[in-house]
Amino acid sequence: MSSTIILPEQRRQVAAPVPADSSILAVISRAATDPTCDIDKLERLMAMHERMQARDAEAEFNAAMAAMQSDIPSIAERGAIVVNGQKRSDYATFEDINDVIKPILQIHGFAITFKVENTPGGLSVTGILMHRAGHRESTTMLLPLDTSGSKNAVQAVGSSTSYGKRYVMSALLNLTTRGEDDDGHAAVPKATVTSLQATQLANLLERCSDRAKAAFANIHGSPAEVEKSAFDQVLGMLSKSAKQNETAQGAPDANHQ
């Protein structure tokens, strides 16, 4: 007696259709390998791709710029314009602006560079703000040479260049400066930490003891009021205090060993 083993009907597996890659790069790739493709058509596709890239890069630039604005503090006015021995006004120096702005630019993917060119009777300073996505914005300021105060030719160029850098940087980043007057004497306001740094300090402070929190409040007030120049020192002290507090809380009671 022969027995027949009937196998279940084998189902045909229908592969899901693979959608054609409609990205512009795929279209360009296929067009480039097609010997019948018209060169003009290929160039139009490349131009379309470049426009799309530029649009996306600009959108990333704008979003990063909007996010960065809340992290940029007011810059302290430490410089002074003195005429005939009398101080006329205060201003934020390029060095102070650069010290505050550089780490913030890096966090948000920006970099700034300058181009200085000679012009008839002076020079032009161009500030170029670049973002890692590829988009950039620039602004230019035309300046005469600053020959005030018996400056020589080299000093005049240096003074005008520094002045131009300050102003184009302020224009590109929407910077504000501030100064205070205390009983007729110009006080030097201190730049405070950014919102990101304040959050970092606040998180560490939460891990510290009540005594450490009280001492911090007595010295600095709130994390947002910590001076920019003291950030590294305060960060180190809070890190050490938080670690000590967590170690003390986690240590076993000697009476129960």
Q: Give tens-digit pLDDT for 9-64.
A: 444 444 444 343 457 667 667 666 777 677 777 777 778 778 888 898 999 999 99
Q: Is the pLDDT of residue 153 over 50?
A: yes
CA–CA dist 148, 44 (Å, integer): 55
CA–CA dist 89, 77 (Å, integer): 10
104 Cα distance to chain centroid = 4
DSSP, collapsed to helix, strand or coil, labels residue 174 as coil
Burial class (CB in 10 A: 0-12, 13-18, 19+), 223: buried
- pLDDT of 223-242, one tens digit each? 988 988 788 889 999 999 99
Run of H or E including 153: helix 153-173
The region of weakest confidence among 152-156, 168-172, 247-251 is: 247-251
Confidence category of residue 257, pLDDT binned at 50, 70, 90? very low
Residue whose structure tokens are 């507090």: 245
What topology is assigned to 75-179 in CATH? Double Stranded RNA Binding Domain (3.30.160)
Q: Provide the pLDDT for residue 52.
A: 84
- pLDDT of 49-62, one tens digit each? 788 888 989 999 99
CA–CA dist 97, 99 (Å, integer): 6
Q: Provide the pLDDT for residue 70.
A: 85
Comparing C-alpha atoms, which of 199, 210, 122 is closest to residue 159? Answer: 122
H and E: helices and strands count for the chain = 7, 9
CA–CA dist 38, 25 (Å, integer): 17
Contact 123, 159 (CB under 8 A): no
- pLDDT of 157-192, one tens digit each? 888 999 899 999 999 999 888 764 433 333 344 667
How many C-beta atoms lie closer than 10 Å to residue 201's C-beta?
Answer: 21
- pLDDT of 62-98, one tens digit each? 999 999 998 888 888 887 776 667 777 788 888 888 8
In this structure, the dihedral spanned by the alpha carbons of residues 226, 228, 230 and 235, taken in order and rounded to 10 degrees, is: 70
How many C-beta atoms lie closer than 10 Å to residue 97's C-beta?
Answer: 21
CA–CA dist 161, 170 (Å, integer): 14
Contact 131, 99 (CB under 8 A): no
Q: Give first-to-last CA distance, the chain, whole Å.
A: 82
Domain-wise residue ranges, the chain: 75-179, 195-247
Q: Provide the pLDDT for residue 90.
A: 81
Q: Is the pLDDT of residue 200 over 70?
A: yes
Q: Provide the pLDDT for residue 256.
A: 44
Tell me the whole-structure pTM to 2 decimals.
0.55
- pLDDT of 59-70, one tens digit each? 999 999 999 998
CA–CA dist 214, 165 (Å, integer): 43
CA–CA dist 86, 62 (Å, integer): 43
Q: Provide the pLDDT for residue 27.
A: 65
Contact 157, 123 (CB under 8 A): yes
Q: Provide the pLDDT for residue 21.
A: 41
Comparing C-alpha atoms, which of 227, 183, 202, 184 is closest to residue 74? Answer: 227
